[in-house]
Structure 1
């Protein structure tokens, strides 16, 4: 028995160790991404920043809200002008807003009250009131910023906004229906349909149907020669850039020369924002609380190329009147009341 035990022990020690199991294939590793172009063919960038396989589809309802179903490919594709960066303003941070699924900088946006305030190819965001790429109105339930303006409805076929109800005028009634200097064109009272209808130095804004200055601007980039011209935010005109100043003698009576920047500035120094900054967007608007039927706001400052937003909560039937007082000589300001 002693020899058998020894032989058995030796046999057990000589047995080879079991072969480890083959690792389980977990599939391809998801790549980090910021946009769809960072992913391989057949993949898209998900909201968690990882590439994922684009699922097959047969209709738009099977895709994300910013996507459509490509019928011939049978996969979901991102709509032109849209993204999946955000769904609400809170995801974008301070002084930024979410429109068409993309975070946008309010400081770089062009404020608007209506479509006519925006360049061709852009519409007025009906939530934040900045110009955004024109994408039609048929997705307004998912993207309320693309809704039509008051007095309009979304055409069910074209997906574009059109005027509600009857036409504003006809050629037969344009004298009674339209103001002096206007005529009826396709049911609307307009000043122009081409530059030929406007006087010297004016051009036709085809979106609004009214004449405006050829030299009108909102920022330096609107000028034909932005290197040698700048946009005067008071007159909204493109003016030649002045030669850099080297002393106060090169500036007006109420200005002094900043020899570092070469620019003339007010004697009291550069414009300083008021205590309500940063209130440069609808999301960061300063709330106003009425303790009586009137509210006076003193010591407000609005610097050039700046937008300030104030929020007022009204009940049905309330009326609001806003007045600006004690404006500086030569000051020009655009004020919008938006509901």
Structure 2
């Protein structure tokens, strides 16, 4: 039987796969359809290269660059010879400088799906240095995706990806007022003089109104103001119905603590902290059921919501 020259050439090319690195089928191509089963077209060279392990000789596998290579199975880099590392996705040792996935590349680079090497670029923010932004395939510094990219006390303009200072109120400013009924203590609006966790031994600080859904800047979140002080100022215990006057160190006046519900504007004393709490008692708009500065919202007394430091942070950490 006489074989055609084309058949002889094809057999010779397949036989060449027995040598490591001789994975190329010497068939010129412009697309995968020009290559035999198990091969793909490497556009940059115009040659058919391996696409699956099955076309490689025994003991070899099809590497990401289309070459058949000696199989070196591994569980960690210690299993690989010098100049290679363990690709945990395939369980094979591959050459340093090559890659099969983005996470094998340093920050600011991704794995090229053509050359299987790390090249500058990004697909998502996680491909970039911390707090850098991935925009149009490249890592950008000084921009923001959200407020967590910004400095403490700033917000992010997500349309322009720029950070800006939130100047709505005196975030974490010290307030000396012994009662939240001091309208000038924390600026205009329902900004209250707060005590972290209701602990009177901690210095008070100003919250900033967020009751209408206003976003709090980085480092803060919006929370309900649940504890209110009585409106009674005092200098000694016998001036208080509860018999307890709390004066902070360095202050000349203090405020009365509560020991029973009747000591409070909303008839609810929190006996854990000895401070009056908001009970959302029924009210009518314009009525006098809610004591100032508690508001009648949706038919119930509600003191509002303020921006406070995130859980685990103190104002001292944010100033």
Shared fold per TM-score greater than 0.5: no
TM-score w.r.t. the length of structure 1 is 0.22
Query: Which of the two has higher C-alpha Rg?
Result: 2
More strand by share: 2
| TM-score of the aligned structures, taking structure 2 as reference length | 0.23
Structure showing greater relative contact order (alpha-carbon pairs closer than 8 Å, 6 or more residues apart): 2
